[in-house]
Amino acid sequence: MYTFNSRIRYSEVDKNAELTLESLIDYFQDCSTFQTQDGPATMEYLKERNIAWVLSSWQIEVFRYPRLCEYVTIGTIPHELKGYFGVRNFFMDTKDGERLAVANSVWTLFDFQKGLPSRITPEIIEAYPVESRLDMEYASRKIQVPEGEVIRGDEILVRSNNLDTNNHVNNGQYIRMAIDSLPERDVRVSSMRAEYKKQAKLGDVLVPEIVRVSKNDRMTYTISLKDTQESPVCVVELTVSQ
């Protein structure tokens, strides 16, 4: 397990002074990056070998969004390393131990020079000691788009501020795009899943297609962010309380 402490900043909250979902994702990403940089398989080590971890899927469950200036602890637990896959949990707690959110994520180690997945090295195994996974309800990493009326959102141009160090759209940016494409505003997301199918780059155009399903006082939005050839790049499922 790897953890770090922080305090919720003004730049991370919404109009209600609560942490945003994309800021929560940023905290989780930062946590895994900090663990990586503690070595021995640092980002520099990966770059020298033309490899990097590419996110395949997210599942995040939010119990409560922390408020502005709350002290929090963010943690990550790698619980499976096999072949070219890595699976890790994340969590966010208050300083008093209240669990605010949990997550599971699946990553692929990818060789960008060969254009193929790369096998996990001994240094990576050393960097990420495997522990037991968190107790949470694990959903499928595959997202099925439900039948229903399809709402087509406005086209989204990928800009430089959407990119990460691999020059691809950062995985948290896809979630922001999905939320911004919803016909309803000010939704409070209680759970989120994302399946990443392709990498979008600078100048690409993404088109959101949204399907809404209401069940048991909860609304689920499934947003398929497609390229101009109608091929899904990322599929995001957001569940909100009505």
95 and 193 belong to one structural domain: no
Residue 215 structural domain: 150-241
List, in order, residues 6 or more apart from 222 with CB less than 8 Å away: 143, 145, 146, 210, 211, 213, 235, 236, 237, 238
Structural contact between residues 43 and 165, judged by C-beta atoms closer than 8 angstroms: yes
108 and 166 belong to one structural domain: no
Computed over its alpha carbons, how large is the radius of gyration of the chain?
Answer: 18
Domain boundary among 112, 127, 142: 127
pLDDT value at position 242? Answer: 59
Residue 137 is assigned to a structural domain of this protein: no
26 and 99 belong to one structural domain: yes
Residue 139 is assigned to a structural domain of this protein: no
- C-alpha 40/C-alpha 155 separation (Å) is 41
28 and 78 belong to one structural domain: yes
117 and 155 belong to one structural domain: no
Residue 175 is assigned to a structural domain of this protein: yes
Question: For the residues of 22-74, what is the DSSP string, one character each?
Answer: HHHHHHHHHHHHHHHHTSSS-HHHHHHTTEEEEEEEEEEEES-PPBTT-EEEE
96 and 177 belong to one structural domain: no
Three-class secondary structure of residue 221 per DSSP: strand
184 and 217 belong to one structural domain: yes
Mean pLDDT by 10 residues, the chain (242 residues): 98 96 96 95 94 94 98 98 96 97 97 92 95 95 93 94 86 92 88 94 95 88 95 95 66
86 and 24 belong to one structural domain: yes
- Considering the entire predicted model, what is its pTM? 0.93
Q: What is the CATH number of the domain that holds 24?
A: 3.10.129.10
33 and 110 belong to one structural domain: yes
Count the domains in the chain: 2
